[in-house]
Amino acid sequence: MSFAIEGKTAIVTGGANGVGLAIGKHFLKMGANVVFADMDEERLKAEITNYADEDSKARIFAGDLRQKLTVANLLSATIDAFERVDILVNASRQVLLSDPLSVDDTTVSDLIDQNLMTALRLTQAAARRMIKQAEGQDDQAYVGSIVNISSIAARRAHPDLLAYSVSSAALDQMTRSMAVALADKRIRVNAVAFGSVMSASLKGTLRENEEMREAIVENTPLQRIANPNEVADAVQYLASDAAGFVTGQIITVDGGRTLIDPTAVSGH
Query: Is residue 247 situated within a structural domain?
Result: yes
Q: pTM value?
A: 0.91
Asked if 164 is an active-site residue, the reply is: yes
Which one is predicted more confidently, 268 or 69? 69
pLDDT tens-digit series, residues 101-124: 888 888 889 999 999 999 999 999
Residue 43 is which amino acid?
R
Reported as type and span, the H/E element at residue 19 is helix 18-29
pLDDT confidence bin for 197, thresholds 50/70/90: confident
Structural domain boundaries enclosing 224? 9-256
DSSP state, residue 117: I
Q: pLDDT digit string (tens) for 2-41?
A: 899 999 999 999 999 889 999 999 999 999 999 999 999 9
Of 43, 27, 42, nearest to 86 (Cα)? 27
Decide: 153 and 164 in contact? Cβ < 8 Å.
Answer: yes
Q: Is 264 inside any structural domain?
A: no
Task: Examine residue 265 and state whether it is found in any structural domain, yes or no.
Answer: no
Identify whether 215 is part of a domain: yes
Instruction: Note the pLDDT tens digit of each residue in 182-191.
Output: 999 999 999 9
CATH number (domain holding residue 87) = 3.40.50.720
Report the percentage of the chain scoring pLDDT > 70: 90
Residue at 77 is within a domain: yes
- What whole-number distance in Å separates Cα of residue 232 and Cα of residue 247? 18
Say if 231 falls within a structural domain: yes
Domain count, the chain: 1
- 227 pLDDT above the threshold of 80: yes
168 lies in some domain = yes
Residue 22 lies in a domain: yes
Q: What is the pLDDT of residue 129?
A: 97
The one catalytic residue in 51, 142, 164, 237 is 164
| Buried b / exposed e along 199-238 (16+ C-beta atoms within 10 A) | beebeeebeeeeeebeebeebbeeeebbebbebbebbbbb
CA distances from 39 to 116, 147, 148 (A): 16, 20, 18
> What is the residue type of 213?
R
